[in-house]
Every structure is written in structure tokens, then in C-alpha cells.
Structure 1
Amino acid sequence: MTEENLAKEKVNRETSKIVWSELQRFFAQGLAVNIVPELDLVEVADAFSKDNKTLVEQWMKNQQVHLVTDQQAALWIREDAQMWAVVIKPWVLVQVA
């Protein structure tokens, strides 16, 4: 396995399902990042972990990656939403499951 594949495999193993309410403290600290469903959470996490600014900035420009908004957080609390999440310090990347 290449080093690239090993890094992605590690991120994949660290990804888990969790209810949004468990992630509120990260949101309150401004560290929760929403990833749209059209993107692969592992690919995005891999780009974050490798500090791939070009790719991350492109996703941000296209509104595909952004800090979780107050409206999203409120909706997810009301719905007791299940999320896929992975920590790429200092960020917690989340995606609706």
C-alpha cells in the first residue's frame, strides 16, 4: 500500500457516526466544518490533513465546505441528526449521515 493510501485508510478508520448533540461543543468553539453530501468526507479530511489549501479553498469558494451555521446547528439539534464525523485537528469535519 502506498503512503497516500495508508493516510486515507487511517482517516477512514477514524471516521464515525455520531449524533449532532455530541458535537455541540466543537460548534460553540467555531471548529465544526460542514461537508456537503456530494463530497467524500474521507477525501476532504485527507485534503485537510495534508493542508491542501488549493483544494480546500476551491471547496469553500463553491460553498461545499464551510463552518457549520447557526441555522444548520439548530436544525440538526431539532432533528437529533446523525452525522459522519472525523477530527482533523483543530477541526471536526461533519457530514449528514
Structure 2
Amino acid sequence: MTTPDATPSPLYAKLLGETAKIDWQDLERFFAQGKLLWVARDLDLVSVAEAISNDETPRVTQWLSAGLVERMQAATAADYAARNPELWAVVVSPWVCVQERG
């Protein structure tokens, strides 16, 4: 876990290094498998991935309850397919966390 004044954890640094810009077409198969997690823009994508990886159930549950993280919905997938926005993703097996930027 990281705080604004702290050095990132080794896991955070590892996940940050594995986070990349990706096209929707490359994510569609993960959506079809039900393995794509949408992350709200106001969350730190890497912090979400770190929390999932560390099984931080209370934090993840809070985000899920607030609608800030959710399994990718068909309407969102269709929107991404139509617009092809700038997306960033990181893998936290079996999940792929994705966030729209820009």
C-alpha cells in the first residue's frame, strides 16, 4: 500500500511497470471471458490492482459497493468499442483492470 508521502511498495512498483496503454480490441477477449474489471477514473489504477493482489477485501468491497470498481458491463464495452478511447490496463490474474484516461 502507498501513501502520498511514502515510497511505493515493491508490489506497487512491479504493477506500475506492468501497466500499459492498450486498445479495446486487445481487451475484448477478456471481456468475453468475464475477467475485465472497470476502474473509475478518480482511482489510482495501480493501487486498485495492488489491493486486489493483496486480498484487501475491505478496500475492494468499498470500491465495489460505491461503483468505483466493477466487472465490465456490456454497455461500457459497447461504448469503448464505438469510441476506442485511451485505455490503460494491468493484469492481476485472473483479472485485467482497465481504466479510461484522457
TM-score norm. by structure 1 comes to: 0.94
CA–CA distance in 1 between the matches of 2:68 and 2:58?
Answer: 14
**Are residue 58 (structure 1) and residue 62 (structure 2) matched?**
yes
Which of the residues 74, 80, 89 maps onto 2:84?
Answer: 80
1:16-51, Cα deviation, whole Å (9 max, x unpaired):
000111100000000000000000001000001101
- Spell out structure 1 runs of 4+ moving beyond 3 A: none
Higher helix proportion? 1
CA–CA distance in 1 between the matches of 2:10 and 2:63?
Answer: 24
Residues 19-58 of structure 1: matches in 2 within 5 Å? 19-58=23-62
Counterpart of 1:94 in structure 2 is 98
CA–CA distance in 1 between the matches of 2:10 and 2:31?
Answer: 29
Unaligned runs of 5+ in 2: 1-7
Counterpart of 2:73 in structure 1 is 69
Unaligned runs of 5+ in 1: none
1:63-91, Cα deviation, whole Å (9 max, x unpaired):
00001100000010011122110000000
Aligned with 1:76: secondary structure?
Answer: helix
TM-score norm. by structure 2 comes to: 0.89
CA–CA distance in 1 between the matches of 2:22 and 2:59?
Answer: 26
Identity of aligned residues (%): 39
How much is the aligned-residue C-alpha RMSD, in angstroms? 1.3
